[in-house]
Amino acid sequence: MKIPQIKYLRKPKASDYMYLFFANITGLTVFVIEFFKQLFIPPYEINEVKKHMDELGVKTFPIVSVTGFIIGLVLAMQSQPVLQKFGATDFLPATVSLSVIRELGPVITALIFAGRVSSGIGAELGSMRVTEQIDAMEVSAINPFKYLVVTRVIATTMILPILTIYVIFLALIGGYIAVIITENMSFQYYQNAVIGAVEFGDLIPGVGKTFVFGFIVGIVGAYKGFTTDGGTEGVGRASTTSVVIASLLILVFDLVLVKLSLMLWPTLG
């Protein structure tokens, strides 16, 4: 199936941005349909998926580790003065845990993941496209879409929920450190308060939507890289626009998934 490419014959003017917007939406939709068509067709490149999970996911652990710890630390420090005004500092562990698990952990992790991974996929596949490596694979009777795109998208879809759980754990640790700095609260009390505040309906939607975010990161980066044109300038453009589009779609789908989760789990409201 031919994936439509957006041709940049000249620098886009203001009147061209609407066209570029709909062209991106159309091309990305066709790309997603092609992905699901190729997903269930053998061979299944399991080793490639494992390799990409290591390259795209495991090597992201350092940056998300720092981010997760700081999220919990700052959230607890910012929330403490507000709760103190109402004499409700006992609710600080619940505030931190619910905020991190429901929204901050999944969304911020996905945005950081998009910044590092989506741009990398776009640049890598874009370089392969402009240097005609993808064309060479087609000539060699190798399915480049299956080998290059499907494996990367599966890897990003599977690894982001793991990163999110890891970030949530570190954020709760950071929140506890902030709590013991500002409040005389034992770890046992903090742990019990967190466990008592978090329910099944909080954890599942929060972590579950990161599968969608991971898919967005992978498919957008692969689409922009796979359809790159314009030489090295096009590679840079693919890397940049993949981050912008992936981040925007993450926020839009987050809004939709939050509303959906509130309909399925009314107790979240």
Q: What pLDDT sits at residue 269?
A: 52
- List the chain residues with pLDDT less than 50: 9
Q: Report the alpha-carbon distance of residue 112 to residue 243 in Å, rounded.
A: 10
Q: What pLDDT sits at residue 167?
A: 94
Identify the burial level of 240 via C-beta atoms within 10 angstroms of its C-beta, where 0-12 means exposed, 13-18 middle and 19 or more buried. middle
Q: Is the separation of the CB atoms in 118 and 243 below 8 Å? A: yes
Q: What pLDDT sits at residue 161?
A: 94
Q: What pLDDT sits at residue 107?
A: 94
Q: What pLDDT sits at residue 201?
A: 73
pLDDT tens readout for residues 39-95: 888 878 888 888 988 888 888 888 999 999 999 999 888 888 888 887 777 788 888
Query: What residue ranges do the domains of the chain occupy?
Result: 14-268
Whole-model pTM? 0.87
| Tokens of residue 269, six digits | 């409201």
